[in-house]
C-alpha cells in the first residue's frame, strides 16, 4: 500500500525517502496501514467464522414467493439477473466494441493475416455472429446477439454460484450481498455489453471453479455424475478456447487432479479411467477445434511478445535509467529483439504495450541471448526490475486508485477503420433515437465506481486483497479443499502480473473478481465442516 502511494504520486520508490518529511510520512503511513489491515483482517475472520443460527432458514418463508424461491431458486435468480442486465444491454445497444474486436473482424474477413494474436476460436465465434447478421442486413443485430449470448451464459453461471451458496447454507447476508453486487456493481453490469474475449473466458472459468468446489465436497462421487462431467468438459474446453491463458490454468488443475487421484486410498480402476477421460477430453477438443479453424482460415502463429511483456518492460526501464552503463555488445543483443534506440523514449510505467510492439525477432537464439543479458542486468540493478514490475502493477493493491474503463459504444476503435474498404458495409451504428444514452450509462458506471462503499465492489484491489486475506485463513487452518477451489483465482493473479497492464484494463482481474463470492462461501462451508 505504501509503495503504491509512492508510484501513484511520483513514479518510483525514491519519493518515500527523498526528503526528511517524506520519510516521516512513509513511516506513519506504513505503521498506520499495517495496524488498519491487521484489525480489518481480524474483523473479516470473525465475521466469516460466525455460526448464524438462521443461515439455512432465513429464506424459507411462507407464502407464494417464498415457496416458489425454494422450489425454483436458480431459475428465479437467473431470471432477475437476465432482466436487470438486459436493461444495460439496451442502454448500450448494439454493444460496446473495442480495438481488439475490430482486429478480430479484420482477421475473420481476411483483411489482415489471421494469427493467434487473438484467440482464434473467440475470433471465429464473434465473426460468425457478425457475418450472419450482415447477411440479414444489419451488423448491429449480430453484435447485440453476441453480447446477449455471453450475458445469458455469464448470468447463468453467477446464478449457479448463488444456488451453490444456498445449498451450502451460506450466511444469508453474504448471499444477499452477492446478489446485490451482481445486479448493481458496474464491474458486473457495465461489462455485460462488452464482447471482449475475457468475458466468456471468465464465465467458463467461474463454472469450472463451481465444479471444482462440488468435486471437493463430493469427492469420488462427483466423477460418476454425468451432468457434472459434461459441464466440466465444456467449461474447461471453452475456457481454453476463449483465452490462451486458459490452457496453463487447466494444466495446473490437471496436475492437482492427478496427484489427488494417485494418492487417494479408496479408488477403483473404473473411477480412475472415467476421471482421466474427463480431464483429458478438453485438451483433445481444443486441439480439434483450433485445428479445424487453423486449416479453414489459414491461421498463422503470432510472435511470443505477449508472454514476454514483463521482462521487456523491465528492460525498457533499465535502458531509460541505466542506458549509459550498458556495454555495446549487450545493446546489440537487445536490439535484435527490441527496438533498442526507442525504448527509453517510449517506456510507459503503467503499460508494456509500447515496448512489446517493437518486438523484432522470434529466433530462439536471439531470445536466449536476450534473456542472458536480461539476467546480467538484473543482478546489476535488481531494484530497477522491482520498480518496473511494481510501478506497472501497484494498482492490484491500491484501493485508493480508481481503475475505471467502460467502453462507451460500438464506435470505439472504429476511428482506425474508416479508410478500410470493408467499413462501408460493416458499419455498426447507434440508432438516432439512442444517441448519447450509452454515454449517460457509462457516466453512471463511473459515478458508482467512485462512490463510497458501492465503489468498493468495482475496485480490483479490494478483491485482490480479500483473496489474499482468505488465502491467509486457509493457510492457518490448513484447509486444503478451499485452497484447491482458490487455484483458478490465484493462478489468474500471476497472469495479471505478467500481463501488459492492469491500469485501465480491469478485465485481466475478472477471474478473481467473479470467483470471490464462491471462494468465500466455500471457505465458510468447509471451515464449518
436-460 per-position pLDDT tens digit: 899 999 999 988 988 888 889 999 9
* Cell 510507459 found at: 348
* pLDDT single digits (tens) 347-378: 999 899 999 999 987 688 899 999 999 999 99
The reply to whether the predicted model has a pTM over 0.85 is yes
Number of other CB atoms surrounding residue 514 within 10 Å: 26
**Strand locations in 292-367, DSSP E?**
none
Per-residue model confidence as pLDDT tens digits over 62-76: 577 777 778 889 999
Buried b (16+ CB within 10 A) or exposed e, 282-320: bbebbeebbeebeeebebeeeeebbebbbbbbbbbbbbb
Instruction: Note the residue count of the chain.
Output: 529
For the segment 302-309, the average pLDDT, to the nearest whole number, is 86
Each residue of 177-219: pLDDT tens digit? 999 999 999 999 999 999 999 999 999 999 999 999 999 999 8
Tell me which DSSP letter residue 115 carries.
B
Establish whether the linkage from the previous residue to 94 is cis, with ω within 30° of 0.
yes
Q: What confidence tens digit (pLDDT) does each residue in 31-60 have?
A: 999 999 999 999 999 988 875 544 444 444
Smallest CA-to-CA distance from 463 within 500, 507, 406 is with 507
Neighbours of 131 (CB within 10 A): 17
pLDDT single digits (tens) 116-160: 999 999 999 999 999 999 888 889 999 999 999 999 999 999 999
Amino acid at each position: 500500500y505504501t509503495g503504491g502511494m509512492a508510484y501513484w504520486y511520483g513514479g518510483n520508490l525514491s519519493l518515500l525517502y527523498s526528503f526528511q518529511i517524506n520519510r516521516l510520512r512513509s513511516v506513519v503511513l506504513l505503521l498506520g496501514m499495517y495496524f488498519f489491515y491487521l484489525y480489518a483482517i481480524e474483523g473479516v475472520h470473525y465475521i466469516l467464522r460466525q455460526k448464524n443460527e438462521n443461515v439455512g432458514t432465513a429464506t424459507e418463508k411462507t407464502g407464494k414467493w417464498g415457496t416458489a424461491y425454494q422450489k425454483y431458486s436458480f431459475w428465479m435468480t437467473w431470471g432477475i439477473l437476465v432482466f436487470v442486465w438486459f436493461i444495460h444491454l439496451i442502454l448500450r445497444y448494439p454493444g460496446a466494441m473495442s480495438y481488439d474486436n475490430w482486429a478480430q473482424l479484420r482477421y475473420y474477413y481476411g483483411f489482415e493475416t489471421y494469427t493467434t494474436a487473438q484467440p482464434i476460436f473467440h475470433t471465429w465465434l464473434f465473426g460468425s455472429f457478425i457475418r450472419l447478421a450482415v447477411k440479414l442486413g444489419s451488423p448491429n443485430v449480430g453484435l447485440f446477439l453476441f453480447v446477449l449470448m455471453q450475458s445469458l451464459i455469464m448470468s447463468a453461471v453467477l446464478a449457479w454460484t448463488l444456488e451453490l451458496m444456498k445449498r451450502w447454507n451460506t450466511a444469508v447476508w453474504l448471499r444477499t450481498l452477492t446478489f446485490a453486487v451482481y445486479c448493481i456493481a458496474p464491474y458486473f453490469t457495465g461489462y455485460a455489453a462488452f464482447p471482449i474475449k475475457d468475458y466468456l473466458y471468465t464465465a467458463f472459468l467461474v463454472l469450472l471453479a463451481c465444479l471444482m468446489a462440488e468435486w471437493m465436497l463430493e469427492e469420488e462421487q462427483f466423477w460418476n455424475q454425468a451432468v457434472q462431467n459434461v459441464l466440466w468438459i465444456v467449461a474447461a474446453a471453452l475456457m481454453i478456447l476463449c483465452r490462451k491463458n486458459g490452457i496453463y490454468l487447466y494444466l495446473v488443475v490437471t496436475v492437482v487432479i492427478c496427484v489427488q487421484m494417485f494418492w487417494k486410498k479408496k479408488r477403483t480402476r473404473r473411477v480412475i479411467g472415467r476421471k482421466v477421460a474427463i480431464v483429458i477430453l478438453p485438451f483433445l477438443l481444443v486441439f480439434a477445434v483450433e485445428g479445424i479453424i487453423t486449416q479453414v482460415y489459414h491461421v498463422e502463429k503470432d510472435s511470443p511478445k505477449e508472454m514476454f511483456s514483463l521482462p521487456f518492460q523491465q528492460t525498457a526501464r533499465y535502458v531509460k535509467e541505466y542506458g549509459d552503463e550498458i556495454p555495446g555488445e549487450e545493446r546489440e543483443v537487445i536490439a535484435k529483439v527490441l527496438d533498442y534506440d526507442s525504448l527509453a523514449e517510449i517506456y510507459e510505467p503503467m503499460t508494456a504495450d509500447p515496448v512489446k510492439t517493437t518486438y523484432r525477432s522470434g529466433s530462439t537464439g536471439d531470445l536466449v541471448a536476450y534473456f542472458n543479458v536480461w539476467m546480467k542486468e538484473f543482478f546489476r540493478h535488481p531494484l530497477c526490475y522491482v520498480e518496473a514490475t511494481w510501478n506497472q502493477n501497484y494498482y492490484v493493491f491500491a484501493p485508493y486508485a480508481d481503475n475505471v474503463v467502460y467502453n462507451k459504444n460500438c464506435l470505439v476503435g472504429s476511428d482506425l477503420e474508416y479508410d478500410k474498404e470493408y467499413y462501408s458495409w460493416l458499419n455498426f451504428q447507434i440508432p438516432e433515437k439512442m444517441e448519447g444514452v450509452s454515454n449517460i450509462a457509462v457516466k453512471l458506471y463511473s459515478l458508482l465506481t467512485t462512490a463510497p462503499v458501492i465503489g468498493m465492489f468495482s475496485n480490483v484491489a479490494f478483491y485482490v486483497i480479500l483473496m489474499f486475506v482468505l488465502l491467509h485463513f486457509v493457510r492457518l487452518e490448513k484447509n486444503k479443499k478451499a485452497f484447491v477451489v482458490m487455484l483458478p483465482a490465484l493462478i489468474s493473479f500471476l497472469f495479471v502480473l505478467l500481463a501488459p497492464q492492469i491500469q485501465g484494463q480491469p478485465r485481466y482481474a475478472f477471474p478473481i473478481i467473479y470467483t470471490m463470492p464462491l471462494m468465500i462461501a466455500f471457505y465458510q462451508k468447509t471451515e464449518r465442516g
